[in-house]
């Protein structure tokens, strides 16, 4: 096995290709605009931060349509997608905000933020911190409520495409 070596300095494409070697799960993060309109975006930069207190984080690009909503909203939800929910991943990454919600089944918990139906897990969070991170912001939330399924497989992303766990 041979590795491709790229001399330093490297370009953005080389950096992105190297990061694509790290397989990630996919989530749709949701919140509400101040007027109550739902907002959602597909992310693969999500992780746990702390068990005590229960904290999670996701990264959001400053150029994202939903940037203002997520940085201002007091609450958000992380909906971890199952392998049969690729359509939701695509919907919340490519369509205009208003078009993302048509026909999507949601629940509302304590905060009123949309919780997507059928996900492997959903976490309702109160925003705790925002951290500057270059062309992104890191959003940290304290988990206030959660639900998870005992079955199912995750939707994965690897080298710029969807992937699945082997049987």
For 52-79, the pLDDT digits (tens) are 999 999 999 999 989 999 999 999 999 9
pTM for this model (two decimals): 0.90
CATH code, 129: 2.30.110.10
Task: Give the pLDDT of residue 1.
Answer: 55
The answer as to whether 92 is a domain residue is: yes
The answer as to whether 73 is a domain residue is: yes
What digits encode the pLDDT tens for the residues 4-24? Answer: 665 678 888 888 888 787 788
Beta partners for residue 126, in sequence order: 75, 142
The answer as to whether 156 is a domain residue is: no
The answer as to whether 6 is a domain residue is: no
| Domain that residue 121 falls in | 24-149
The answer as to whether 78 is a domain residue is: yes
Q: Which string of DSSP letters, residue by residue, matches 43-112?
A: ES-EEEEETTTTEEEEEEETTSTTHHHHHH-SEEEEEEPBTT-HHHHHHHHHS-GGGGGTT--EEE-TT-
| Number of domains observed in the structure of the chain | 1
In this predicted structure, the answer to whether residue 122 has a pLDDT above a threshold of 60 is: yes
The answer as to whether 2 is a domain residue is: no
In this predicted structure, the answer to whether residue 3 has a pLDDT above a threshold of 70 is: no
């Amino acid at each position: 096995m041979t590795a491709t070596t790229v001399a330093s300095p490297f370009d953005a494409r080389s950096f992105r290709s190297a990061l694509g070697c790290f397989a990630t799960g996919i989530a749709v993060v949701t919140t509400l605009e101040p007027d109550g309109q739902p907002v959602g975006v597909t992310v693969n930069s999500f992780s746990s931060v702390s068990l005590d207190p229960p904290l999670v984080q996701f990264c959001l690009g400053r150029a994202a349509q939903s940037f203002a909503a997520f940085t201002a909203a007091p609450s958000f939800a992380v909906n971890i997608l199952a392998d049969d929910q690729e359509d939701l991943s695509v919907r919340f990454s490519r369509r205009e905000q208003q078009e993302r919600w048509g026909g999507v089944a949601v629940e509302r918990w304590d905060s009123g933020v949309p919780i997507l139906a059928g996900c492997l897990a959903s976490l309702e969070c109160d925003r705790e911190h925002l951290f500057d991170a270059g062309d992104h912001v890191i959003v940290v939330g304290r988990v206030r409520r959660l639900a998870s399924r005992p079955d199912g497989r995750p939707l994965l992303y690897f080298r710029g495409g969807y992937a699945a766990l082997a049987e």
